A and B are shown apart, each in its own frame.
Chain A
Amino acid sequence: KNQVEQSPQSLIILEGKNCTLQCNYTVSPFSNLRWYKQDTGRGPVSLTIMTFSENTKSNGRYTATLDADTKQSSLHITASQLSDSASYICVVSPNFGNEKLTFGTGTRLTIIP
């Protein structure tokens, strides 16, 4: 069964600190891995998309890494801001389409001043 597991479930850090969120997957075959940010009560917004040939991809203060051999990904947030408080969802696709995506349950990140 295809699965995406994220850790930790929730995380609280001080404003200005860095943090790293983890994603492990068992989806096979593998085409690409995505990280989304979802504010409470809103739709997810894409942060990064990586194929199996990409090891790292950045979007501002967000940097995602991918190890396709160990089937692990991480999302690193640098110099956190209050607006980073949200759920971060890892999504894995077995093909180029979007009809067979496997979504993780997300990590709830809270930034405190």
Chain B
Amino acid sequence: DGGITQSPKYLFRKEGQNVTLSCEQNLNHDAMYWYRQDPGQGLRLIYYSQIVNDFQKGDIAEGYSVSREKKESFPLTVTSAQKNPTAFYLCASSIFGVRASGNNEQFFGPGTRLTVL
């Protein structure tokens, strides 16, 4: 099956701990994105990567870090510096650059719900 997978589905963290959320895609997409979804708010972009070994901060990058060592993988680390990490985290991917044509549709994973205890 082609698609985007995220793990774990649920994650509990104690205050002061770092946690890493996994995102993998086998769609051969160049670009990958991390969003945060909170009740009553639209999705907000945390980080994105358009090519391996390169990534850019989104609108709310403080307290988060990412890596892009492989095209298929884009893990997100929620650090202890993130003051309010409890949220639903969504990973997405899309074609980028010259291979994109028409409308650049974005595909989302199933999400990880992070709760800080």
**Chain A residues with a Cβ under 8 A of chain B:** 4, 32, 34, 36, 41-46, 49, 51, 89, 96-99, 101-106
B74 nearest CB across to chain A (Å): 13
Top 10 closest A-B pairs, CB basis? A103-B42, A43-B108, A49-B103, A103-B43, A44-B108, A98-B106, A43-B110, A43-B111, A98-B94, A105-B42
B104 within 8 A of A: yes
**Nearest residue, chain A, Cβ from B59:** A100
* Structural contact, B105 and A97, CB atoms closer than 8 A: no
B31, B56, B106: the one contacting A46 at CB < 8 Å is: B106
A98 to B33, CA, bound (A): 9
A41 to B100, CA, bound (A): 29
A34, A41, A89, A104: the one contacting B113 at CB < 8 Å is: A41
The residue in B41, B43, B56 that gathers the most chain A C-beta atoms within 10 A of its C-beta is B43
Assuming the contacts A99-B45, A101-B45, asked whether A44 and B104 have C-beta atoms less than 8 A apart, the reply is no
**Chain B residues with a Cβ under 8 A of chain A:** 4, 6, 31, 33, 40-45, 48, 50, 56, 58, 88, 90, 92, 94, 96, 100, 103-111, 113
* Structural contact, B100 and A105, CB atoms closer than 8 A: no
Report B-chain residues with C-beta under 8 Å of the C-beta of A98: 31, 33, 48, 92, 94, 104, 106
**Nearest residue, chain B, Cβ from A36:** B108
Assuming the contacts A98-B33, A98-B94, asked whether A105 and B104 have C-beta atoms less than 8 A apart, the reply is no
| Known A49-B105, A98-B104, A105-B42; 15 more pairs at CB < 8 Å | A42-B110, A43-B109, A43-B110, A44-B43, A44-B90, A45-B108, A49-B103, A97-B31, A97-B96, A98-B31, A98-B33, A98-B94, A99-B33, A99-B45, A103-B44
